[in-house]
């Protein structure tokens, strides 16, 4: 019960901080994308810091986060892996649902950091425009963060990797950096409880461009799932499959 109360207090202040930080940085963010990135990094750092002393959940990033223009294909178990991965790279951006553009502040910040809004079924056209904008200087490069399974997946639950990730790998022509995680053990979806422990995201060796799509997908899934299972085993969890 005490841990639940600590978790709820953390969640309340987390959303208050989101409002305060986004408003404080908003003038800078309007002037420059650097201000938007600074705001998002400040928020991530705040959440990670308060998470540690308020709930006992510490965060650790392993491996070498990329600083060049790459695609990051990550295990997605909770909101926490979003924060940890974004905080570890200088110019992270996401493919986001177009509906989020209408969310106050969130939509504006998403656009300013270079997120790619897409309509359902039209991801290819959105990515083509993004690539064109980068080449012409209308959009900054950076680290495009995607989730190959398409949604949050609870620890130990199997879910296929979507072939769209392979298509994106071919279209971008950039290295892909896989990322494994165990964070869902401590920050579960559909729960207010934040469990004490060590949440880890691990940046794995990059997959260079040029692989056939099927070969890339097999390697990506094997690298991410094998390492995620190892990280979860370190925390005492063992998948059944």
34-49 residue pLDDT tens:
999 999 999 999 999 9
CA separation, residue 192 to residues 3, 9, 16, 28 (Å): 10, 10, 16, 33
Question: pTM of the entire structure?
Answer: 0.91
Helix (H) or strand (E) holding 62: strand 57-62
Contacts of 75 (CB under 8 A, 6+ apart): 81, 147, 149, 153, 179, 180, 181, 224, 225, 228
Rounded Cα–Cα distance for residues 28 and 33 (Å): 8
Q: Give which of 220, 204, 205 is closest to 167, Cα–Cα.
A: 220
pLDDT one-digit tens code per residue, 79-132: 999 999 999 999 999 887 778 778 888 888 998 998 887 776 666 666 666 666
pLDDT classification of 75: cutoffs 50, 70, 90:
very high
Contacts (Cβ under 8 Å, ≥6 apart) of 25: 35, 36, 38, 39, 42
Domain boundaries, the chain: 1-55, 58-91+142-234
Q: Of residues 223 and 239, which shows the higher confidence score?
A: 223
3-class DSSP state of 199: strand
pLDDT in tens, 12-68: 999 999 999 999 999 999 999 999 999 999 999 999 999 999 999 999 999 999 999
């Amino acid at each position: 019960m005490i841990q639940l109360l600590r978790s709820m207090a953390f969640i309340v202040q987390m959303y208050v901080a989101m409002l305060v930080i986004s408003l404080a940085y908003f003038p800078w963010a309007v002037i420059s994308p650097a201000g938007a990135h600074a705001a998002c990094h400040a928020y991530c750092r705040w959440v990670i810091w308060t998470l540690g002393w308020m709930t006992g959940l510490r965060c650790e990033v392993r491996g070498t986060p990329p600083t060049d223009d790459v695609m990051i294909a990550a295990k997605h178990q909770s909101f926490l892996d979003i924060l940890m991965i974004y905080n570890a790279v200088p110019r992270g951006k996401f493919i986001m649902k177009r509906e989020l553009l209408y969310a106050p502040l969130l939509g504006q910040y998403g656009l300013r950091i270079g997120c790619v809004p897409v309509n359902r079924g039209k991801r290819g056209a959105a990515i083509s425009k993004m690539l064109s904008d980068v080449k012409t200087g209308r959009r900054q490069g950076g680290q495009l963060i995607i989730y190959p399974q398409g949604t949050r997946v609870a620890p130990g639950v199997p879910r296929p990797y979507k072939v769209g990730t392979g298509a994106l790998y071919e279209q971008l022509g950039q290295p892909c950096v896989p990322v494994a995680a165990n964070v869902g053990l401590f920050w579960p979806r559909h729960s207010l409880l934040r469990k004490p422990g060590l949440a880890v995201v691990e940046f794995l060796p990059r997959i260079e461009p040029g692989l056939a799509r099927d070969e890339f997908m097999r390697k990506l899934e094997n690298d991410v799932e094998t390492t995620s299972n190892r990280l979860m085993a370190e925390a005492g969890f063992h998948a059944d499959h």
